[in-house]
């Protein structure tokens, strides 16, 4: 099939490349000229394992093209995917300006029957808005070209996006048009060689809702466990043991019940907020989901508060080594990362920060911590340790899992570790003479 994928961020670039890998002819469109020129040369704007090789292979196979011209891409297009950002608006709702701009351009430039697929995460009712905007533009041109609007929310995870897209747990297709559904089934068939049961079809509104509910459910598990962790600490229990104790019940399971410094990233914070907002627009107070968000906001500062309890309110003259800036491992994405909140709080109290992350330093320097003074960035984790009062672990990159603790002990001013991701064995660290602070278990000296 001839596909246009509009928006070359995490979702658009990965989906477009994976569709190309299956033999479709894909044109990826973006408004940022520099991004498109770089992509044509195989320069990838994001860090995503396996993506670069796949992009290069498909450019060479002439299955993957890049352009800034949506008009040109629609000339031969059968299916156009909208994969632009839907950031959080000021009132917490999803900002649909980019989605609707794309819809307007599609209406202006489409020349043949088209299936318009919304892959961006959008509130219930957005497909109707997209349809109206396209119709308005077609009417203005006095054209009557048939099209349908399908919802196909994306569930890939940054850091494992290629794998998620190539072998999806499920693909949700919301459509009110049988022909469009059949086309989507054909497009996704190569991704389900063993079974098509994982392609779930439903009405458009339910599909739009499914994405928000999936993310809010996962965020709920995280906030629930973080709340439990805080209670564990107060009553002298160990959340790491409690986690294993409850996860062994198959109705609960082990996934997404790790205590930590709260969720971040481009999706959970904004999608939880948007669902709360959707509910309130219908005069419903989504109490539980509201609590998920407020527990998370509080959780982001738990590690900073432990540092303050240990070193005092005034952190002038203190230096902390921070391992990990990205909101999770295997990505350079720092959107809403707990590290931003923790570092800002420590710096506000006078501390200096020596930071290292395997992939996210550029993002931190250029955007998320750009205006924060007192941060120095290093090329390796051990370089951050000299003259630091403590090491603070904020992202569970594999290279942090089993560090040389003797080196930490030698380099740090005193052997103190704050672990925002509960990565280490507290008994071993205590035997080695460390003060070890983690989430959900009281440090015993
Ligand atoms: P992103 O911000 O990384 O990328 C969006 C891209 O769209 C940018 O390159 C931007 O330049 C481009 N764009 C904006 N307006 C455009 C226009 N008019 N024409 C062409 N391109 C335009 O966003 P993302 O992380 O890929 O997310 C896209 C959508 O998918 C969002 O709704 C998000 O919630 C959802 N989603 C994201 C993830 C994820 O892990 N990042 C996972 C599932 C769903």
For residue 443, the model assigns a pLDDT of 81
Express each pLDDT in 265-296 by its tens digit: 989 999 999 999 999 999 999 999 999 999 99
For residue 317, the model assigns a pLDDT of 97
Annotated active-site residue in 18, 77, 232, 267? 267
The answer to whether 293 and 262 have CB atoms below 8 angstroms apart is: no
Domains in the chain, start-ordered, CATH in brackets? 2-202 (3.40.50.720), 212-297 (1.10.1040.10), 300-438 (3.40.50.720)
Residue 80 CA, distance from chain mean position? 23
ipTM: 0.99
Express each pLDDT in 215-225 by its tens digit: 999 999 999 99
Q: What does pTM read for this prediction?
A: 0.94
Mutate-to-test residue for ligand 1 from 6, 10, 120, highest number of ligand atoms within 8 A of CB: 10
Q: State which ligand 1 atom lies nearest to the alpha carbon of 121.
A: 32
What is residue 441's DSSP assignment? B
The residue behind tokens 């948007």 is 274
Q: State which ligand 1 atom lies nearest to the alpha carbon of 153.
A: 44
For residue 444, the model assigns a pLDDT of 67
Question: Alpha carbon of 386 to those of 325, 351, 354, 430: distances in Å?
Answer: 19, 15, 9, 21
CA distance 23 to 292: 42
Mutate-to-test residue for ligand 1 from 7, 88, 171, highest number of ligand atoms within 8 A of CB: 7
Ligand 1-lining residues (CB < 6 angstroms): 6-12, 29-32, 83-86, 98, 101-102, 120-121, 154, 156, 158, 266-267
For residue 197, the model assigns a pLDDT of 77
Q: Closest Cα partner for 301 from 360, 221, 226?
A: 226
What spacing in Å lies between the alpha carbon of 11 and ligand 1's midpoint?
Answer: 6
For residue 398, the model assigns a pLDDT of 97
Paired with 66 in beta bridges are: 28
Q: Tell me which residues of the chain have a pLDDT lower than 70.
A: 196, 444-445
Mutate-to-test residue for ligand 1 from 69, 159, 266, highest number of ligand atoms within 8 A of CB: 266
For residue 194, the model assigns a pLDDT of 74
């Amino acid at each position: 099939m001839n596909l246009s994928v509009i928006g070359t961020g995490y979702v658009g670039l990965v989906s477009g490349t994976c569709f190309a890998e299956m033999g479709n002819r894909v044109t990826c469109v973006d408004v940022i000229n520099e991004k498109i020129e770089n992509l044509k040369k195989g320069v990838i704007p994001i860090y995503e394992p396996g993506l670069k090789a796949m992009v290069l292979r498909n450019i060479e196979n002439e299955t993957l093209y890049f352009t800034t011209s949506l008009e040109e891409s629609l000339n031969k297009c059968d299916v156009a995917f909208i994969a632009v950002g839907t950031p959080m608006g000021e009132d917490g709702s999803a900002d649909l300006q980019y989605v609707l701009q794309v819809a307007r351009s599609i209406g202006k430039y489409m020349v043949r029957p088209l299936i318009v697929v919304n892959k961006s995460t959008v509130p219930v009712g957005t497909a109707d808005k997209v349809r109206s905007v396209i119709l308005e533009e077609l009417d203005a041109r006095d054209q009557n070209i048939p099209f349908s609007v399908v919802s196909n929310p994306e569930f890939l995870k940054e850091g494992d996006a290629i794998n998620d897209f190539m072998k999806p747990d499920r693909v949700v297709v919301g459509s009110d048009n049988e022909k469009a559904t059949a086309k989507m089934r054909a497009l996704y068939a190569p991704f389900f060689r063993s079974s098509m049961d994982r392609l779930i079809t439903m009405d458009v509104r339910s599909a739009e809702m499914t994405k928000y509910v999936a993310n809010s459910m996962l965020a709920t598990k995280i906030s629930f466990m973080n709340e439990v962790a805080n209670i564990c600490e107060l009553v002298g229990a160990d959340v790491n043991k409690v986690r294993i104790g409850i996860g062994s019940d198959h109705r609960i399971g082990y996934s997404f019940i790790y205590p930590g410094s709260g969720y971040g990233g481009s999706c959970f914070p904004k999608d939880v907020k948007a669902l709360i907002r959707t509910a309130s627009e219908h005069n419903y107070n989504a109490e539980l989901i509201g609590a998920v968000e407020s527990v998370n906001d509080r959780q982001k500062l738990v590690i900073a508060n432990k540092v303050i309890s240990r070193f005092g309110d005034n952190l002038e003259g203190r230096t902390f080594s921070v391992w990990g800036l990205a909101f999770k491992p295997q990505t350079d994405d720092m959107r809403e990362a707990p590290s931003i909140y923790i570092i800002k709080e420590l710096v506000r109290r006078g501390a200096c920060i020596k930071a290292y992350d395997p992939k996210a330093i550029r993002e931190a320097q250029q955007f998320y911590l750009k205006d924060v003074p007192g941060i120095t960035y290093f090329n390796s984790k051990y370089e951050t340790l000299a003259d630091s009062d403590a090491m603070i672990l904020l992202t569970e990159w594999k290279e942090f899992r089993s560090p040389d603790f003797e080196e930490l002990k030698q380099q740090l001013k005193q052997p103190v570790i704050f672990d925002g991701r509960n990565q280490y064995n507290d008994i071993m660290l205590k035997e080695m003479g460390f003060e070890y602070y983690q989430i959900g278990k009281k440090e015993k000296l």
